[in-house]
Amino acid sequence: MNYTSTRDNSLSVSASFAIANGISAEGGLFVPEEIPQVDAAFIAGLAPLGYAERARKILPLFLTDYTAEELFAYTEAAYGSQFEGPAPAPVKNLHDNVNMLELWHGPTCAFKDMALQLLPHLLTGAAKRVLGGKESVILVATSGDTGKAALEGFKDVNGTRILVFFPDQGVSPMQKLQMTTQEGENVGVCAIEGNFDDAQNGVKAIFTDAAVKAKLAENNMCFSSANSINWGRLVPQIVYYFSAYADLLAAGQIENGDKINFCVPTGNFGNILAGWYAKQMGLPVNKLICASNENDVLTEFLTTGRYNRCRTFHTTVSPSMDILISSNLERLIFHLLGNNSDETNRLFAALKENGEYTVSPALLQEIKATFAAGCCNDDATKAAIADTYKKYGYLCDTHTGVAVRVYEAYRAAGDDTATVVVSTASPYKFSKAVLGAVTDGKFTAENEFDMVSELEAITGLPAPAPLKGLKGKTPRFTGVCAKAQMEAEVYKLLRIGE
Ligand SMILES: *Cc1c(COP(=O)(O)O)cnc(C)c1O
């Protein structure tokens, strides 16, 4: 199976090439030329398996140039004891036929671990085949959770270096501490003045700059990407949609073939797009419900067909979803246009030049057949966290709170199909907002770790060990740079001359 580019569909490259390069040379995203198909027997066969075994059924369908031995070793290494508890991606029943898929039991307590524990293995395997021994330099722009998850995944992995840029005012104190205290010999971290889109645009510009590339090549290095534009980030995420379905089958909550909904708290559109690929492969999915915070650009797009990034950027209590340009949407549009890169180019040129594009009514109809969408503000998010805790004793983080709220409104409008709400972070990553929600603002703790303790005392739910372990650690990386200085910062962190 080969991959093509959303901006040039005459390309045809291997999975290794797509993963090692991250983004296509002309700026497009790599996508599978065809989507592999599975049947009901395949899905039934997943039910008795563990998570790594489920991954070994699904990944080879896309990663056809990796050997079975490679994928065995990679999945064993990725989905092992670094996940706390009995399973990497457990499904918990909330009430009736509504379930939570918890994707935050990994080392950084957010769903990015599901992909970023595997990606370094996929990347080093690919680099051997297609990069001829060059060192891979991973540049990451993060809205909070990706950065730490990538740092943990890549730290001290031979043949790789990793540099992370995060918006100085755009991440939670816990997220910031997680990144600035990162250990490892091959890591660098820098805050930038600006928001996530500034960081992402800055990284994209460096990534595609020929002069920068030449400079790296002189030093036997080349760029790759751990952002969710890398196919190696998306493909591991497809697994947990199947895994959740298999768990509901095993629990007897559904019959094989029954359609279910997924509600996904969304920012860059990577998580929910993996759900779309799962549906295209044959997973019985009714609706994919896209939940946004006050940055509601996707809600508007999925309901009206108009994507308009010219709007106020809101800093919210769910910072990993504070995004106005959802990069992975380009993949969906390319596929729905019948793999038409000319038309994709036209739409995304319009986005770049005018800040907006509108898809045809026919395309909108197709989108609406699969996607529902909704959004809510911070007050509604906090109310959802408080209500869910009071009614069901279930504590969710702020991102998951958005999804719960949007799902409730969706269900109230009439669809009570069995549903999986995707839970993307530990509530302890966003203790202040969560504590504020469950105490109605009446808490005494003033610093981050006291808030963790107070939330533990109130709920009886233990905080994850990797978060508690940060207490008292001194930051290693304290730099803040302007967007224009990012390139210089890259050379500095790589210790190569300008
Ligand atoms: C990254 C992230 C999201 C958004 O996921 P996308 O793939 O960017 O849509 C939601 N919640 C949390 C906690 C995240 O870290």
CA distance 442 to 451: 12
Closest listed residue to residue 32, CA positions, set 276, 204, 268: 276
- From the CA of 270, give the closest atom in ligand 1: 7
Q: By alpha-carbon position, which residue is closest to atom 12 of ligand 1?
A: 424
- For 357-365, the CB contacts below 8 A with 24+ separation are 357/306, 357/307, 358/305, 358/306, 358/307, 359/305, 359/307, 359/333, 360/305, 361/305, 363/305, 363/333, 363/336, 363/337, 364/304, 364/305
Q: From the CA of 271, how far away is ligand 1's center (Å)?
A: 7
Q: Which atom of ligand 1 is nearest to the CA of 112?
A: 15
The sheet with strand 480-481 has its strands ordered as 221-225, 135-141, 160-167, 187-192, 480-481
The preferred substitution site among 145, 276, 295 for testing ligand 1, maximizing ligand atoms within 8 Å of CB, is 145
Ligand 1 probe mutation, 108, 111, 152, 276, most atoms within 8 A of CB: 111
Ligand 1: centre distance to CA 101 (Å): 14
Q: Whose CA is nearest to atom 14 of ligand 1?
A: 320
If you ran DSSP here, which 8-state letter would residue 479 be given?
A: -
Q: What is the residue range of 313's domain?
A: 1-498
Pairing between β-strand 371-375 and β-strand 285-292 as defined by DSSP bridges: parallel
Q: Which amino acid is at 236?
A: P
Pocket, ligand 1, Cβ cutoff 6 A: 110-112, 145, 228, 265-271, 320-321, 399, 424-425
Residue 483 bears catalytic tag: no
Between the CA of 320 and the centroid of ligand 1 the distance, in Å, is: 5
The one-letter code for the residue type at 197 is D
Closest atom of ligand 1 to CA, residue 104:
13
Give mean pLDDT in consecutive 10-residue pieces for the chain, a chain of 498 residues: 98 96 91 98 98 98 98 96 95 98 96 96 91 87 87 90 92 88 94 88 88 92 86 98 98 98 97 98 98 98 97 92 92 98 97 96 98 98 98 98 98 98 96 96 94 96 93 92 92 82
Could you identify the atom of ligand 1 that is nearest to the CA of residue 399? 11
Domain count for the chain:
1
pLDDT at site 498: 56
The CA distance from 49 to 423, in Å, is 22
Residue with tokens 């939940």: 291
Protein residue with its CA nearest to atom 15 in ligand 1: 145
What atom of ligand 1 comes closest to residue 400's alpha carbon? 11
Atom of ligand 1 nearest to the CA of 143: 1
The catalytically annotated residue of 92, 112, 128, 279 is 112
What is the rounded CA–CA span in Å between residue 239 and residue 122? 15
CA of 173 to the centre of ligand 1 (A): 17
Mutation test residue for ligand 1: of 151, 240, 266, the one with most atoms within 8 Å of CB: 266
Q: CATH number of the domain that 25 lies in?
A: 3.40.50.1100
Give 425 Cα–ligand 1 centroid separation in angstroms. 9
Is residue 76 classed exposed, middle or buried when 0-12, 13-18 and 19+ CB atoms within 10 A define those classes? middle
Query: How close is the Cα of 265 to the center of ligand 1, in Å?
Result: 7
Composition of the chain by helix, strand, coil, percent to 5: 50, 15, 35
C-alpha distances (whole Å) from 85 to each of 81, 106, 114 are 9, 9, 14
The rounded Å distance from CA 106 to ligand 1 centre is 15
On whether the CB atoms of residues 245 and 284 are closer than 8 A, the answer is yes
